[in-house]
Amino acid sequence: MNTKKLIMTALSLIVMVSMLAGCGGGAKSSSSGKVYIPVISKGFQHQFWQAVKQGAEQAAKELNVEITFEGPESEAMVDKQVEMFQTALDKKPAAICLAAVDSKAFQPLLEKAKAAKIPVVGFDSGVDSDIPVTTASTDNIAAAALAADKMVELIGGKGEVAVIAHDQTSRTGIDRVAGFVDQIKNKYPDVTVVDVQYGGGDQLKSTDLAKAIIQAHPNLKGFFGANEGSIIGVLNAVKELKMEGKIVVIGYDSGQQQMDAIRAGTEAGAITQNPVGIGYKCVEAALKASKGETLPKTIDTGFYWYDKNNIDDAKIQAVLYK
């Protein structure tokens, strides 16, 4: 081989090594040249997730990153969400945002993400793992405890109450039930939580569960629904059994049906999160994590109590969604 060919071969090898080196570490780019961050939510069936999506898209536009936003058809579809996360991992993104349906099911994939040096940012539901670099979410224990305080006040300080929640596996489901039930148990000895049921966030299933609880406990004074689907189920049950005005109903999140019920007086009030803020903060945090920036373990996105007295306040309207 002559000298010229040797030089050309050496240069080719240098270029190849440089290209391979560029593939490892740092923020990965999509075909558009932008940093790519997949956002995997718990579902699409509630307006809450559409509001989270809106916030994530707003962050993507302002921060000049590319996102995809997807979730399973139902918040009970753990396997489908795990598959989505694996597909996202295979694309070698800069970071991944995850709201886990089942907080324990993702541990093997989180280990994979860690090994690949792809940071994971939790949002809404945290994950029972130290691997996520941060979680952008509501303090669900404190928020549900406030719902319990309001419930006790509205039922006159004593009586039977019940809970319909979305699941026993996500961090939000666990924390909202614990926040409400523990606050009652520890602070209000004259109030009893007679039942807690889980409707998977499905309003039809939640309706059936709520009707069964009301029929089993004729002296029931109050009902807490721990997410949008749960509380719509409670409202349906109260209406179908003609118990409007006889049972104090307190909800979580918003949505048109729930806001209408609060204005009409069939629902006493609800806790609202800041879903647009949750979506924005998770993408913002994921971008920072992809650059190696240090983040706090949690990013508290806040919550508010709203009822017919303050539902139209500008501060509340800013965090409600239809």
147 and 134 in one domain? no
Tell me if 202 sits within 8 A of 74, measured CB to CB: yes
pLDDT of residue 4: 43
Instruction: Please report whether residue 165 resides in a domain.
Output: yes
The range of the structural domain enclosing residue 34 comes to 30-138+275-301
pLDDT of residue 12: 44
193 and 218 in one domain? yes
pLDDT of residue 103: 82
Q: Is the dihedral of CA 123, 129, 132, 135 positive or negative?
A: positive
193 and 71 in one domain? no
124 and 53 in one domain? yes
| Ordered mean pLDDT values, 10 residues apiece, the chain (322 residues) | 44 38 47 91 89 97 98 91 97 97 92 98 89 96 98 98 96 96 98 98 97 98 97 98 97 96 98 96 98 96 97 96 90
> What pTM does this model have?
0.84
Structural domains in the chain (count): 2
Q: Of 148, 102, 322, nearest to 228 (Cα)?
A: 322
295 and 203 in one domain? no
Q: What is the CATH number of the domain that holds 173?
A: 3.40.50.2300
49 and 101 in one domain? yes
pLDDT of residue 62: 98
- In sequence order, the 6+-apart residues with CB closer than 8 A to the CB of 17 are none
Instruction: Please report whether residue 55 resides in a domain.
Output: yes
pLDDT of residue 29: 59
106 and 144 in one domain? no
260 and 286 in one domain? no
251 and 148 in one domain? yes
pLDDT of residue 30: 63
Sheet containing 248-252: order of strands = 191-198, 159-165, 220-225, 248-252, 269-272, 304-306
Instruction: Please report whether residue 70 resides in a domain.
Output: yes
220 and 115 in one domain? no
